[in-house]
Amino acid sequence: MRAFLGVTGHFIQEWQLKSVMLACSRFKGRHTGEKIRQEYEETIACFEIGHKVSNIVTDNAANMLKAFNCPLPGFDESQTSDGDDNLKAVESLCDETESCETETDTFDNFPKHCSCFAHSLQLVVKDGLAQCGNHLKQLISKASTIVSYVRKSVLASEYLEDEKRLQAANCTSWNSQLYMIQSVLAVPEDKLSSLDCPQKLSSYERKLLGEVWQLLKPFEEATLEVQRERSVSASLAVPLCISLKAQMKAMASTYNTNMVTTLKASLDKRQSKYEENEDYCMASILDPRFKLPWCESDYDRDQHIALSKMRCSTVVLPSTEHKSPPEKVPKPVGIFSLLPRTPRKQRHVSGRISETDMYLAEDLLDTASDPLHYWESNSEKYPALSKLAQTYLTLPASSAPVEKLFSIGGKMFRAERCSLNDENFEALMFLKCDKAIE
């Protein structure tokens, strides 16, 4: 029962994505936004990297939002519960101070704050599950009862020994329910029905569970994509938002349920902020797997091209006329299968060609490719854009690296180490998490 504040740093070095632990320090007292910000500033000052931090990614807890969205001394942060239900209170505080963004600029160029994409997806799924019918809730509860029975019964476990192990759900991770449903459906119906369990699943109920699994599978795939620590994730946020909306629209014609309607509405409500975030849009543009074909209109495309040119001190090449070749659009797979990939129109550019125009004229890479390998090979060809890529592709889309710290810390605080003091614990964490730093 000790509280700790974890801070991780992310950067690109020699075109490899690096992640380091900056702090996993004891956090005593109330978890107020002001105190969280103070601890953060002390950590950054200790390493003298304040001028290098451009973005801060946290979960949607109210105290985190107050700490990094409204860096104003003396504000009241009496609520510290998780979830973004307290966003209205934060937004009203911002309204009273005219503008969060304006105030942020006046406080030592405080870095921009981004919410964890994976946590926002979890809230979307939570909304969908909350609006599903009572029968479906009881069905999920029944499946959980069967799993619990098998995991506690030696005879039942032996009987299903040749099948995949049934997975139990937990209250902290929404996709654990998905894994539970998937594990139940993987067991043959006749074997599951022959168990001496008080709860039985009919063929119709198994079909309903299969539909729930189909509805939630895209969200689970998106969650796994953005939680990869050693690969670029910032560029996935906007394409994933658009792809998930397309997935829900396609499923609405097959599953005409209140759950699908709620998931679509929640996606529009909670994920639109990522589509409007210029940093995530720039990351997608600078990812050679996506660039701009995901734009839903020519106007949006032109706006994003203008944004990239504005942020890039363009390097020009002598030319009299340049005709952009037709763009080859590789067929997307997996979670990106329904992502719009409209080839751009041919454009005639007279005079000099900017880096942005040359880069966008190239073919897209396959979604399985590593964008950092591309920029390593093309850093001399596009010197200005490659510098932007180092900035925007570094941004993590989720706070999963910090959660990983606490998983490691939980293993370190074993029963025989109950007297481990805070200083030695943090030193051990540094040795474990940052051992690969050169």
User: Per residue in 48-70, pLDDT tens?
Assistant: 998 889 899 998 888 888 888 75
Residue 234 lies inside a defined structural domain of this protein: no
The domain tally of the chain equals 3
59 and 142 fall within a common domain: no
Residue 11 lies inside a defined structural domain of this protein: yes
- Across 305-315, average pLDDT: 69
Residue 49 lies inside a defined structural domain of this protein: yes
Residue 263 lies inside a defined structural domain of this protein: no
302 and 373 fall within a common domain: yes
Q: Cα(362)–Cα(344) distance, rounded to whole angstroms?
A: 11
283 and 319 fall within a common domain: yes
The kind and range of the H/E element at 4 are: strand 4-13
β-strands 4-13, 16-26 pairing: antiparallel
Q: Would you tell me how many other CB atoms lie within 10 Å of the CB of residue 1?
A: 2
CB 388 within 8 A of CB 313: no
The Cα angle at residue 198 between residues 195 and 202, in degrees rounded to 5: 70
Q: Cα(226)–Cα(224) distance, rounded to whole angstroms?
A: 6
pLDDT band, residue 315 (cuts 50/70/90): very low
pLDDT in tens, 1-43: 788 899 999 999 999 999 999 999 889 889 998 999 999 999 9
42 and 83 fall within a common domain: yes
78 and 140 fall within a common domain: no
Between 369 and 350, residue with greater pLDDT: 369
Q: Cα(437)–Cα(31) distance, rounded to whole angstroms?
A: 31
Which of 205, 227, 249 finishes a domain? Answer: 227
Which of 185, 203, 227 finishes a domain? Answer: 227
308 and 375 fall within a common domain: yes
353 and 375 fall within a common domain: yes
Residue 241 lies inside a defined structural domain of this protein: no
292 and 378 fall within a common domain: yes
98 and 157 fall within a common domain: no
CB 414 within 8 A of CB 30: no
Q: Which of 269, 270, 292, 271 is nearest to 282 (CA)?
A: 292
Residue 282 lies inside a defined structural domain of this protein: yes
319 and 332 fall within a common domain: yes
Q: Which of 114, 120, 86, 59 is nearest to 279 (CA)?
A: 114
Residue 238 lies inside a defined structural domain of this protein: no
- Model pLDDT, residue 77: 40
Q: Cα(342)–Cα(301) distance, rounded to whole angstroms?
A: 11
153 and 126 fall within a common domain: yes
CB 417 within 8 A of CB 429: no
- Model pLDDT, residue 325: 46
320 and 421 fall within a common domain: no
Residue 63 lies inside a defined structural domain of this protein: yes
pLDDT in tens, 159-182: 988 888 888 887 667 778 888 999
Q: Is 191 helix (H, G, I), strand (E, B) or coil?
A: helix
Q: Which domain holds residue 380?
A: 277-392
Q: Is 128 helix (H, G, I), strand (E, B) or coil?
A: helix
